[in-house]
Amino acid sequence: MKLFKAGAAAAVAVVLSLTATACGGGSGSAGDGGTAGGGKDKIVIGIKFDQPGLGLKTPDGKFTGFDVDVATYVAKELGYQPDQIEFKQAVSAERENLISNGDVKLVVATYTINDKRKAKVDFAGPYFLAHQDLLVRADDTSITKAEDLNKKNLCSVTGSTSAQNVKTKLAPDANLLEQGGYSECLTGLENKTVDALTTDNSILAGFAAQEKNKGKFKLVGLKLSDEPYGIGLKKGDKELQTKVNAALKKMVEDGSWQKAVDANLGPAGYKAEPAPQITEGS
Amino acid sequence: MSSVLYDTPGPKAKVRNWIYTGVFAVVVALALWWILDRMAQQNQLDADKWLPFVTDSQIWTTFLLPGLGETLKAGLIAMVIALPLGALLGIGRLSDHAWVRVPIGTVVEFFRAIPVLMLMIFSSALYVMLGTVSSDLRPLYAVVTGLVLYNASVIAEIVRAGILSLPRGQTDAAKAIGMRKGQMMFYVLVPQAVTAMLPALVSQLVVILKDTALGGAVLGFADLMSMNRQISANYSNTIATMVVIALIYIAVNFALTALASFLERRLRQSKKGTGAVVEGDVAEVDAGGAAGVGKAP
Amino acid sequence: MFDFLTSGQYDVLGAFWVTVQLTLYSAVGSLVWGTMLAGMRVSPVPIMRSFGTAYVNVVRNTPLTLLIIGCSLGLNQTLKITLGGEDFKEIGFRLAVLGLIAYTGTFVCEALRSGINTVPVGQAEAARALGLNFFQVLTLIVLPQAFRAVIAPLTNVLIALTKNTTVAATIGVAEAALLMKEMLENEADALFAVFAVFALGFVLLTLPTGLLLGWVAKRVAVKR
């Protein structure tokens, strides 16, 4: 009986503490995303957490990458200091939901502008023009164009458009391996189980530029598609869109844009195209 | 070295056992060596892939421990919600009234027949449709909902087995002193059944914790499993990270399994109780067959 | 409401066929591997007993998700084991079966071990008195009786296995859960209908298994 009483007491304690945390977690993030949080104003921005060079959570709990730099710059122009920014993970499938639920104010997460997405959210930008490309091992010269992928092992992320693009149009005979994330694909590429990894060249460059991967991989340099990256925001928020566009324009003009590209994607020998013209919201 | 299955080894058998030991050890060692050799060929044993886990405490404080926290949080919340729900379902299934017993039995059997992954995917899609849960909490909600739906029905079976495992004398005695059905259930049977069920419930917590990994792999839940991607994006050490994550899961679950068997042993030896116990082992697979496992010593 | 079934866009039956295949191959494999593990755990050779115990404790406490993803990332992509598969679709299927066998084998082993305990001591003693060695005692006398006693627990293992095959979705094997996820993303308005179809599919797979083997268990039970 003693055991039962102790167990019951422990269970009650666990319930209480858990409901407390659950409630605490729930109420804080239900707000508008822009002004939530007591006292000091904060801006919540959705980024990727697992893409080196673009949006990466580092072991010290900070965030680095081109998208992060753009987000920080834009936030500054909107009147938020770096310590007022709260970064939230925006996995690809969740980006529209995060915006339309008001969980984040902006999404800066390798977010290609297209009509399907524009039905649900609005974009500012584009601030970067990426292309679908291939990443191969540095010593591999057998793949120079998309057709070379036929009969080769190709890796991409489950359900991605890049994979479907290759499969249906460019190299239908490629042996496609779909993985949960890019780092899994990279393991296969490093171990020679797959011959190429395909997605946006910016993402590929980010992985290739990593300290641990230097000299191991190279970009083939193809332009298999156009991927204009925009900053996602709530549909119909013209005021914010105009402000973000102005911030992006200023970022390009004062040279911060180029600096951010060089710092984050430069080490891979990847030459980014000049900043694209802003087309959204005009 | 004594078992009913074989004779105590004599000189010949001892030699033979030594030969078997040697052969088996060589086979295992060869397999291990082959794996390590292959890994070394692929540079998977490089120090810079493994050292961060020892030298860089931040990899623990930023990724692994918060991930483990999410895993434990989801598991405990699911357990805490599923427990009372399962208890109600389990007691309801023992009801004398067919109109209570049959529908509850149907619900329990239905949710036990459906894979927990499907329940999670369905919950996630349901929350998207309802739109009431904020996007960053939705994975947690979906994981917990899926786990609760499944485990409440499993716990219902554990509770039923626990109550049925009590010696008949308990029911008879309660009836003899004029208790009503409700009183008998809540003053006599349930309190004793809870003790008998403890090992099975702890084992079920292990099952729940293991199942949370599905949320990390499929629903984008930021649990221990999903930290693999974030860590390897920093260190490009997928395999090493997988191994470390596996070790953490094994350590936590092993501790819980050990607790379950400790409780089981204690309950069996206890002179005070009825000695009834629902084994953890059986609940681990599926409590469904557990209707008769509560055995008196 | 159920027009997604007849539109021809989704191969629901095909996906369930993959689930059934995963279940069957894994069930046979787990039975064999689990019996071997149980044999090791009761064998006279200490190192085999330790191996069996260690294996069961480690694998049972690892999430199946991690095991199957580990099969894909570790065995296939690092050690380059393809299990004879030609393309990644085939390799993925075989790796999933391997992961399921490694995991389910431990439950078969534990069920069998408790079954071995139900065989009266006299049976093994009589067999030894006849001069049978350990292997003969186990395979001729003890296991045949143990198997009859554990059909009910093994049925539960089989049902759990059927449901666990959905975890193969994490490495992209095109079975029922993966198709359901895809359909829920595309047919959000038919949420309940889609779920009902897949739920029914699993009820149809698991319920007859339970009933049939329950009947078998009663038929073959050793009367003592």
CB contact under 8 A, C77 and A184: yes
For B220, the closest chain A residue by CA position comes to A91
The one-letter amino acid code at A116 reads K
Alpha carbon C190 to chain centroid, angstroms: 32
Which residue among C69, C76, C172 sits closest to A193, beta carbon to beta carbon?
A: C76
Type of residue found at A71? A
Predicted pLDDT at C188? 73
The token duo for A21 is 């945390």
pLDDT at A116: 86
Tally of domains in chain C: 1
A140 touches chain C (CB under 8 A): no
- Chain C residue with CA closest to A93: the answer is C185
pLDDT at site B274: 62
Q: What is the pLDDT of residues A207-254, one digit of tens each?
A: 888 878 888 888 888 888 888 999 999 988 899 999 999 999 999 999
Question: In whole angstroms, what separates CA C58 from the centre of its chain?
Answer: 17
- Rounded Cα gap, residues A217 and A111, in angstroms: 24
Assess A213–B contact: CB distance below 8 Å, yes or no.
Answer: yes
pLDDT recorded at residue A24: 38
Could you tell me which chains touch chain A, where touching means 3 or more CB pairs under 8 A? B, C
**Minimal Cα–Cα distance from C166 to chain B, Å?**
7
Cβ A37 vs Cβ B37: under 8 Å: no
Using the Cβ of B198 and the Cβ atoms of chain A, whether some distance falls under 8 Å is answered with yes
For residue C88, the chain A residue with the least C-alpha distance is: A177
Give A159-196 as a DSSP string: T-HHHHHIIIII-TT-EEEEESSHHHHHHHHHTTS-SE
Residue range(s) in chain A whose domain bears CATH number 3.40.190.10? 43-129+228-268, 131-219
Nearest CA to CA, how far is C113 from chain B (Å)? 11
A-chain residues within 8 Å CB-CB of B239? 187
Option in A88, A97, A210 nearest B128 (CB)? A97
| Residue B275: predicted pLDDT | 62
Query: How many A/C residue pairs have CB atoms within 8 Å?
Result: 29
Alpha-carbon distance values, C202 to A19, A208, C197, C206 (Å): 34, 44, 9, 6
- Provide the residue count of chain B: 297
- Which are the contacts of B287, defined by CB distance < 8 A and separation ≥ 6? B154, B155, B157, B158, B161, B200, B204, B278
Task: Answer yes or no: are the C-beta atoms of B284 and B206 closer than 8 Å.
Answer: yes
Distance from CA of A190 to the nearest CA of C (A): 9
Sort out which chain B residues have CB atoms less than 8 A from C134's CB and list them.
5-6
Q: Does C171 touch chain B (CB under 8 A)?
A: no
Those residues whose C-beta lies under 8 Å from the C-beta of residue C14, and which sit 6 or more positions away, are C174
Q: For the domain made up of A43-129+228-268, give the CATH fold.
A: D-Maltodextrin-Binding Protein; domain 2 (3.40.190)
Can you tell me the distance from the alpha carbon of C175 to that of C42, in angstroms, rounded to the nearest whole number?
Answer: 37
CB spacing of A187 vs B239 below 8 angstroms: yes
Q: Do C142 and B5 touch (CB under 8 A)?
A: yes
Question: What b-and-e string marks burial along C179-209, b requiring 16 or more CB atoms within 10 Å of the CB?
Answer: bbbbbbeebeebbeebbebbbebbeebbeeb
Strands (E), chain A: 43-47, 50-51, 55-57, 63-64, 85-89, 106-107, 122-137, 153-157, 175-179, 196-200, 217-219, 226-233
The chain A residue lying nearest C81, using CA atoms, is: A193
List chain A pLDDT tens, one digit each, 282 residues.
444 455 455 544 444 444 444 443 333 333 344 444 444 588 999 999 988 889 999 988 899 999 999 999 999 999 999 989 999 888 887 888 888 888 899 999 999 998 888 888 999 989 999 999 999 998 888 888 888 888 889 998 877 778 778 878 878 888 888 888 888 888 889 888 899 999 998 999 888 888 788 888 888 888 888 889 999 999 888 999 999 999 999 999 998 998 888 888 876 667 667 778 887 775
Q: Does C167 touch chain B (CB under 8 A)?
A: yes
d(CA B141, CA A30): 14
Q: Which residues pair with A137 in a beta bridge?
A: A217
Residues of chain B contacting residue A137, judged by C-beta atoms under 8 Å apart = none
**C161 confidence band (pLDDT: 50, 70, 90):** very high
Which pLDDT belongs to residue B133? 82
Any C CB within 8 A of A166 CB: no
- What pLDDT is recorded for position B272? 63
Chain A positions touching C72 (Cβ under 8 A) are 179
Q: Does C81 touch chain A (CB under 8 A)?
A: no
Does the structure show a pLDDT above 90 at C189?
no
User: Inter-chain contact B83–A11, Cβ cutoff 8 Å?
Assistant: yes
* Amino acid of residue B107: V
Contacts 24+ apart (CB under 8 A), B17-24: B17/C44, B17/C45, B17/C46, B20/C45, B20/C47, B20/C48, B21/C45, B21/C46, B21/C47, B21/C48, B24/C45, B24/C47, B24/C48, B24/C51
Q: Does B248 touch chain C (CB under 8 A)?
A: no
Residues in A 89-108 with any Cβ partner in B closer than 8 A:
89, 91, 93-94, 97-98, 101, 103
Residue-averaged pLDDT of chain C: 90
Give domain limits for chain B.
Answer: 1-42, 48-292
| The residue to which tokens 């122009």 are assigned | A77
Q: Does B132 touch chain A (CB under 8 A)?
A: no
Name all chains with 3 or more CB-CB pairs below 8 Å to chain B. A, C
Alpha helix positions (H), C11-142: 12-41, 46-60, 64-70, 88-118, 121-129, 134-136
Name the residue facing C134 among B5, B24, B116 (closest C-beta).
B5
State residue B271's pLDDT score. Answer: 61
- Right CATH number for A131-219 from 3.40.50.720, 3.80.30.20, 1.10.10.60, 3.40.190.10? 3.40.190.10
* Amino acid symbol at B166: L
HSE-up (13 A, CA, CB side) for residue B255: 6
Are the Cβ atoms of A186 and B236 closer than 8 angstroms? yes
The partner residue sitting opposite B7, judged by closest CB among C69, C128, C210, is C128
Task: Classify B48-292 by CATH class.
Answer: mainly alpha
**Distance between CA A159 and CA A161 in Å, rounded?**
7
Mean pLDDT of C152-172: 92
Residue in A158, A176, A184 nearest the CB of C88: A176
In the prediction, which pLDDT does A158 show? 79
The predicted structure's pLDDT at residue B9: 86
Q: What residues are paired with A85 via a beta bridge?
A: A43
| Chain A residues in contact with B240 (beta carbon < 8 A) | none
Q: What is the CATH number of the domain that holds C67?
A: 1.10.3720.10
Give pLDDT, residue C184: 85
Give pLDDT tens digits along chain B (297 positions). Answer: 357 888 888 898 899 999 999 999 999 999 999 999 999 988 888 888 898 899 888 899 989 999 999 999 999 999 999 999 999 999 999 988 999 999 999 999 999 999 999 999 999 989 888 878 877 788 999 999 999 999 999 999 999 988 988 899 999 999 999 999 889 998 999 888 888 888 889 989 999 999 999 998 888 888 999 999 889 888 888 899 999 999 999 999 999 999 988 988 888 887 666 667 776 544 444 333 332 222 222
